[in-house]
Structure formats: C-alpha cells, structure tokens
A and B are shown apart, each in its own frame.
Chain A
Amino acid sequence: MAPPRVLVVDDEEDFLETLVNRLKRRGLPTQGALSGSRALEMLEAEGFDVVVLDVRMPGMDGLDVLKEIKDRWPFVEVILLTGHGSVESGIQGMRLGAFDYVMKPADLEDLMEKIQQAHERRSLRED
C-alpha cells in the first residue's frame, strides 16, 4: 500500500515546518498549510489522504475546517491536534467525523501510528 499523503495544518510556522520535515523523513509525502483556508485550497488542488489539523487557529478554527473537509471530501481522514485534554472537544471532533485526536505537544510516534490507522480505514472505505 502506498504511504498516505499527509497535509499538516497549523498556524505555528516553526511547528509546522518541523513536523512536516519529520514526517517526510519517515517516508510520508507531507505538506503544510498555515491556515484553514489555505488547507482547503491545497486539498482542492492536490487531494490528500490524511489531514493533521490543529483545533485552535485564528480565522477558521479546526472544527470549521473539519466540517468543510468532511462535507466536500468525506473520505479524507482527519486527525485533530488539540491542547484540550478534555473529553468534550474530542467527542465533538469525533461527532464531526474526525478519525481521532492527539494532544499537544504530541508524541511523534503516536501521531505516526494514528496516521497509519486513518489511512488504513480510508483505504477500506474507498474500496
């Protein structure tokens, strides 16, 4: 199975750049977007398998972006990055169709694993 194409969405440039680099280094074709609207443009242009999405962003916040993505590309899997360790934002995200969520600061190994699982699910649903 081909590795998933990943889009990371976060308004923190340093974080974004580093995470994209590390994922690429682990063999995932990854790109970054600094805002929700940019992310939607890139999805429109290129299409991705898995989106890693920060919940708290200026402008469009993560949940809005999530809704839009699920609306337009229902098979794209989304993993939320959240500082909210609380159950409800997770539940809310799950209800909106996110695959899972990871708490910031995230452990890269965890994130990798979840990206893989999301990709597998996506492949199953696509077929």
Chain B
Amino acid sequence: MESRDYASLRNRIIGLTLGFSLIPLFSLGLTIYYQFHVSYTDKTLQSLRSLLENRRDAIDLFFDERISQISTVAYTHTLEQLRDEAYLERLFRLIQSRSKSFVDLGVIDEEGNHVAYVGPYQLKGVNYRNEEWFQAVMLRGVYISDVFMGFRRFPHFVIAVTRREPQRTWILRATIDTEIFEAMVKAAQVGRRGDAFVVNRQNMLQTTPRFGEFRLGEVVLPEFAAFPGTRLEPTVVDGRGVLVGSTWLRNKDWLLVVLENPEEELAPLLRARTVVLGVVLGGVLFIVLGTVFLAKGITDQLVRADREKAILDSNLVQSSKMAALGKLAAGIAHEVNNPLAVIKEKAGWIRDLLAEEDIASSRNFKEFEDAIKKIDYHVDRARKVTHRLLGFARRMEPVQEMVDVNRVLEETAGFLENEARFRNIQIQKELLDDLPVIRSDSSQLQQVFLNILENAIDAVQKDGTVKLRTTYSSRLREIAVSISDTGPGIPKAMLDRIFDPFFTTKPSGEGTGLGLSVSYSIVEKLGGRITVESEEGRGTTFTIHLPVQ
C-alpha cells in the first residue's frame, strides 16, 4: 500500500463535485435568463407594436375624418355656394366648432386660382398651378400633402379634395393645424427617452421629434423601404442602442416612427439579469464552500481511516511478530533454563561434596571452591538473560497495570545496547530517581520506546549519542520520557508528516512508515501524547508525555 497524496485527492473530489454541481446551476441560470429574456423582449416588442399600431390607426382615423369632412362639404355644395365667402365663412366656423384642427378653408378652380378663402391668412388670389400638391390633387382626387412651409413660412400640411363635375373640376382645400396632428404623434412618446415622429418617403421629418431641433430635413435613420405592416428592429442612433418601430400610414405615404430606449423598456429584464446573476453567484459560492468543506471532511475521514487501518494492520503484524518472537524467546529461555538448572544443581552437589572432610583438607580445596563460585555466578548471569527473555515474551494484550516507566525504558534500551555499542553510539541515561509509578501498559510502552529508540539509533548511524531522560511535572500531572539523538535532524517541511501512516524517509523496503504512526496512536490510547523537536544538523528529540493518575 502506498502513501496517498491526500491533497490531490481532495482537489480531485472538489473538481468533480464542482463540475457536477456548477454545470446544472449555470445551465439553469442561463436557461431561466434566456427564457425570461425571450419572453420579456417579446412582450416589450408586442407592446411597442400595439402602441405603434394604435397611434397609426388614430392618425389614420384623424385623416379619414378630415377627408370625409372636406369631401362631405365638397359634395354637398356647389362651387357657386362656396364661392360666397360669407357662406364659406359660416361653414368654416361650423366645422371649426366641431374640430379645431382646421386652420383655413379655400376653394381653388382648375386653373389653380384661389377663388374663395376663409382663414387667418391673406391667400386669396394666389395661384397654385405650379405647386406640386395642386397637380397631385387634380390627378388623384384626394390629396394629403407633406408638411411644408408654404407661403407663410410656417409648417402645415394640406388636405385637398377634388370635385369633378361634368363641365368643370374644382378643389376644396383645407390647411390642417400641425400642432394637433403633432400632439397625436407625440402621444406615442413613451418613457423618459422615447421618441415618436413622422417622416416621409425621403426620410424628411414631418413632425417635431422630441429631441433635437425640428427641421424639415434628413434624420439619422436607416433607409426605410416601402414595406407593409409594422417593422420592429433594434438599431443604433447617435451611438446609442435604440428600439425602432415603424409603420406606414394608410392614407399617406408617411412613416410613423417610434423610438424606444431599450435600457428603459428592458429595465426589468436587466434587473432580472442582475437577480439571476446574484442568485447564481450566491449558489456558486455556496456550492464551492460546501464542496471544499465536504472534500476536506472526506479526506480527513480517509486519513483517519487509513491511519486506523494502518495501525490495525501493523498492530496485527506487530502482535503476530511479537507472539512469534515471544514463543521463540520463551522456547529458547526454557531450553537454556533446563541445562542451567542442571549445571546449578551439579555445582551445588559438588559444593555439598566439598563439605566432606577428606576433600576439605585437600590441597586444591580453595581452587574447587573458587570454581564453584564462578560457576554459580555465571549461571546466575545466564539466568538473568533467560528471565529477561521470558519477561519480554509475555502476552501482548493491552492491560492496565502499575508501570515503572524507568524500568521499562531501561529494559528496552537493554535490547539495543549491543547494537549501539557495535556502532559506537553512547546511550546516556538521566532518569529521575523518584519517578511516580503510572497506570499504563508496559508492553505497549515498550513497543513505543523500542520504535523511537530504533529510529534514534538509525538516525545517528555511527559515532554519536542517544540520550534518555525522564522527568515529572507535578503541575501537569504527567511524566515525560525524552529520547534525543545527535543525528541529522528532520527537515521542517517533513515535521508535520512524520506521524502519517506509510510516511518514511528510509529507502523503500527498509522502513514501513508505520513505527511512528503506531507509536502515536498507542500513546494517544494510553492518554498521552508525543511531541517532536528537531533542528537540522543538530539532532532530534522525541518526547512521550504520559499522564499520572
């Protein structure tokens, strides 16, 4: 099993989760926004269209009424009647009382002479033969002029109706007040920046637009081809985006143009966009935080699980190793014990026999006695070894017993003394004499000490010192066992990884990377903690803190 790279795993989880959650979120946001955009734009255009068409119908109705008024007058009177200016005046007053938009009324014969006129201007006697409108009305019968300045340098337009009689043709002509007409057009100016005006086929303004000077001239507008019905399109005027709606009037080749400011009209849409964006961003933030949190939780859990598994595995391995080793040690101890017992008894027997007088008086009695003493002494020495082995071989189950930590440390160090001597490493001990006995598990502690001591000796390699210290803090109610070495130390970057399972600095195949993580968990189980201090080039000190009940 390899050490996992938890960080990259976490990042993979984060990436995947984010992908899976953000893509739907974005698609949802975009879809909602798009649908809203479509339907809202549609609605806006619809309302623009209906505004436009209403205005057009109203204007057309206005024209229809004027034309029918004039036609009625023309076809219900004779030329003779209308030539009478007093009569014409009465008629005009009557018409004006119902409809203020008539400015004047005139009768023109087929020569283009103004034969009768009633109105505020002095136009009688003027000849129109060369005027464009005169020719047009003679041809078509009904004519509505463009707005023109006329003789009076004042914008107005003319509605004229031709009455054809068998012998003669004459024209009834009325000037229409542009103010009233303009008011009708201006009713289509919506919002704070909307505009409405009328242009003719040459794009000449026929009414005053809301913005800019009124001039009978070109407007910056796209070319309008003659098309039926209503056209709505976004365009750019003076560098600003504008919604243009345009429709031709029925009675006159004029184009009613309504400009709407999309920013104003589509403000709710922009608001909706902001809201959607806000919600999406909030969602993104939420998801990102959640994901990071979750991934961290998962990887932490994984680290924990890995560590526990490693500990379990290594405990299993360790305990089976220990059990095997214990069996072996016990077997050897027993096998050695028996001969030792025989030797001891034989020596005892010899000593018994030496007590007999004839031997006691022999020349070599002293030598015998010395030899027996030496044999006894060395049997005892061997006995110590076998008993240490037997002590080591005790069952490895966690127990709660009163432990003399100094003794456990000494015993454990005893196992490694040969190795240390062989490598010229001094093991210095500075053990507190009256160290309190603690309630713990000596064989587990032995395992921890053994791990750390082995590491220390491995770190020094050759010619150095490993120092064991035990101290007691009555304030913290704990004892501390520190194991220092004069090895190369641990790089800062590695310090917080050394307790990770499977982390090892030893070449592969030598270290399992489990020693420290197992030690860490053992000490935690025993209610203590391990701390480490290291200075590169100076050495490392591991300190095991154990609670005193």
Contacts and interface: CB of A to CB of B under 8 A. Distances in A.
Contacts of B343: 105
Interface string A22-50: 10010000000000000000000000000
B472 to A, nearest CB: 27
A83 B391 contact: no
Contact of A86 (B346, B379, B390): B390
B337 interface: yes
B342 A15 contact: yes
A108 B349 CA distance: 10
Given A14-B342, A105-B344, A106-B341, A22 B379 contact: no
Contact of A104 (B340, B346, B349, B395): B340
A84 interface: yes
B390 A84 contact: yes
A15 B390 contact: no
A104 B337 contact: yes
Contact of B342 (A12, A84, A88): A12
Nearest to A14: B342
A92 interface: no
A14 B342 CA distance: 6
Contacts of A84: 330, 390
A103 interface: yes
B394 A83 contact: no
B352 interface: yes
B191 to A, nearest CB: 99
A105 B349 contact: no
A123 interface: no
A89 to B, nearest CB: 10
A56 B390 contact: no
Contacts of A103: 387
A108 to B, nearest CB: 5
B346 A18 contact: yes
Contact of B341 (A15, A21, A86, A88): A15
Interface string A45-64: 00000000000100000000
A19 B344 CA distance: 10
A105 B341 contact: yes
Contact of A25 (B337, B344, B352, B379): B352
A108 B390 CA distance: 22
Interface in A72-86: 83-86
Interface residues of A, number: 19
Contacts of B379: 105
A104 B383 CA distance: 8
B-side binding surface: helix, strand, loop or mixed?
helix
Interface core residue of B345, B348, B383 (most chain A CB under 10 Å): B345
A15 B352 contact: no
Contacts of A88: 394-395
B469 interface: no
Contacts of B346: 14, 18
A15 B345 contact: yes
B342 A83 contact: no
A85 B352 contact: no
B383 A18 contact: no
Interface string A86-108: 10100000000000000111101
B349 A83 contact: no
Nearest to A56: B334
A73 B383 CA distance: 34
B341 A85 contact: no
Contact of A22 (B340, B348, B395): B348
Given A85-B391, A86-B391, A104 B348 contact: no
A83 B348 contact: no
B345 A83 contact: no
A85 B330 CA distance: 10
Q: In the complex, which of the residues A19, A84, A103, A105 has the most CB atoms of chain B within 10 Å of its own CB atom? A: A105
A111 to B, nearest CB: 10
Contacts of B345: 14-15, 18-19, 22, 105, 108
A105 B390 CA distance: 13
A74 to B, nearest CB: 29
A88 B348 CA distance: 29
B386 A83 contact: yes
B97 interface: no
A83 B340 CA distance: 11
Nearest to A12: B338
5 contacts: A12-B342, A83-B333, A104-B341, A105-B340, A106-B341
Given A56-B334, A84-B390, A104-B341, 15 more contacts: A12-B338, A15-B342, A18-B345, A18-B346, A18-B348, A18-B349, A22-B348, A22-B352, A85-B391, A103-B387, A105-B337, A105-B341, A105-B383, A106-B344, A108-B348
Nearest 10 interchain pairs by C-beta: A18-B345, A105-B341, A83-B337, A105-B344, A15-B342, A83-B334, A104-B341, A14-B342, A105-B340, A85-B387
